[in-house]
Amino acid sequence: MLHLFIELYKQKIGDSIVEIAHIKLVEPPILYAFEIKLYNLVV
């Protein structure tokens, strides 16, 4: 299904260089990293 979306997107924008990519979300979440950074700035 993702490949079909990519093909449709390529046609819509008129660009042949569109690649599929993914992000794997794992612990710790990004929000946790920002909370630690903010805590270190305050202390």
**Confidence at residue 1, expressed as pLDDT on a 0 to 100 scale:** 77
**Confidence at residue 41, expressed as pLDDT on a 0 to 100 scale:** 65
Domain map (residue ranges) of the chain: 2-42
pLDDT in single tens digits along all 43 residues of the chain: 778 887 888 888 888 787 877 777 667 667 776 776 666 666 5
Give residue 29's region: left, alpha or beta (phi > 0; psi -120 to 50): beta
